[in-house]
Amino acid sequence: MRKTVLTLVLTLAVAMPAAAQQINLDFPGLADRAEEVVDLTIDADMLRVAAKFFSGKNKDERAIRDMISGLKGIYVRSYEFAKAGEYDMKLVDRIKTQLGPSWKPLVTVRSKKKDNVNIYADMRGDKIHGLVIIAAEPREFTVVNINGPIDIDRLADLEGQFGIPNMSHKDDDDDDHDH
Amino acid sequence: MNLENDLKRVLRRESPPAGFAGRVLERIEAEQTHRRPVWWRAAAASVTLGLLLGGYATHRVVEHRRGEAAKEQILTAMRIAGEKVRYAQQEVQQIGTPRP
C-alpha cells in the first residue's frame, strides 16, 4: 500500500511539471473599462479543427499549420483604453507570480513611451514548452499565453506574412533593455 | 367427472360461423389494397435520403464555418504575439546601435 502511494506521488511529481500550465488570464472588470477588447481562447480542439483549414500547398499557411500542430492552447487578452491609468500595473506581477520554476524570463523591454514587454518561456532542457508575453503600455495591456512547444523566431517571422500585418514599432526613443 | 364433461364441452369440434372464410379473405384483400404503391415508397426513400444528405451538408457547412472562425482567431492571436515578440527583438537588436 505504501509502495503504491509512493509510486502515485512520484508519478504525479514527475507528470505535473510536464503538464501544460495554463495561466489564469481572468481580469474582472477590465473589459468594461476598455475601449477595445480582444479575448481569444483557442483550445487544443479548436487548434486541431483550424489546422485542417491551413493549406499544405501555401508556404505561409504551412508554416502556421506546423507551428500550431503541437500546441495545446493559445490565449490572448488585449485591452485598449481611452486614456492612461485605466489598469493597475500590479496585473503584470499577478501574472508573473503564477509562473512556475521552469519559466524563465527571455526578454524584458522597459520603455517610457512605448510597450513594456516581458517575455517568459517555459524552458525544459533547451526547448520552449510555453510562452507568456506581457505587454503593458499606458493605454494598452496585452497578455498572450501560448501553451505548448513554440519556436519564438518563427513566431516573430510571421509578422508581415500571410495577412498578418506588419505592425512593429518603427519609432525610436529612449528605452532601457534587459535580457 | 364434472371436469371431464367441461373439457369435452370446451374442446368439442365446432364449425366456423357462417361467412367466416369470406370475411378473412376480404380482410386480406383490404390490407393488400392499403399497401403503399411503389412510387410512393420510392418517393419516401428519396425524401429520407435527401434529408440525410442535407443533414450531412449542413454539418459540413457548420464545421467549415467553425474551422474558418478558428483559423481567423489563430491568425489574430499570432499577429498580436508576433507583433510583441518582434518589437522586443527589435529593441534588443538596437542595444549598442548608435542613435541618430
What are the mean pLDDT values of chain B's consecutive 10-residue runs (100 residues total)? Answer: 84 86 89 80 94 95 92 92 89 70
Say if the Cβ atoms of A46 and B73 lie within 8 Å. yes
Q: Which three cell numbers stand for residue A36?
A: 477595445
Residue A61 distance to chain B (closest CA, Å):
10
Say if the Cβ atoms of A133 and B84 lie within 8 Å. yes
Prediction ipTM score = 0.76
Is the Cβ–Cβ distance between A104 and B85 less than 8 Å? Answer: no
- Residue A162: pLDDT above 90? no
pLDDT at A111: 80
- The closest of A63, A72, A76 to A21, measured between CA atoms, is A72
Reported confidence tier of residue A145, pLDDT bands at 50, 70, 90: very high
Mutate to test the interface with B, among A25, A61, A166, A167 (most CBs of B within 10 A): A167
Q: Which residues of A are less than 8 Å from B75 in CB distance? A: 64, 162-164
Three-state DSSP class for residue A154: helix
Say if the Cβ atoms of A107 and B71 lie within 8 Å. no
Q: Which residues of B are less than 8 Å from A156 in CB distance? A: 82, 85-86, 89
Reported confidence tier of residue A19, pLDDT bands at 50, 70, 90: low
Residue A46 distance to chain B (closest CA, Å):
6
HSE of B28 in the Cβ direction (CA atoms, 13 Å)?
Answer: 6
φ/ψ of A67, rounded to 5, equals -65, -35
Taking phi first (over 0 means left), then psi (-120 to 50 degrees means alpha), and beta for anything else, what does residue A69 get?
A: alpha
pLDDT at A59: 81
HSE of A56 in the Cβ direction (CA atoms, 13 Å)?
Answer: 2
The pLDDT of A88-116, averaged and rounded, is 89
- Residue A167: pLDDT above 70? no
Mutate to test the interface with A, among B60, B91, B95, B97 (most CBs of A within 10 A): B91
Q: Does B95 touch chain A (CB under 8 A)?
A: yes
- Residue A161: pLDDT above 70? no
Residue owning grid cell 493605454:
A139
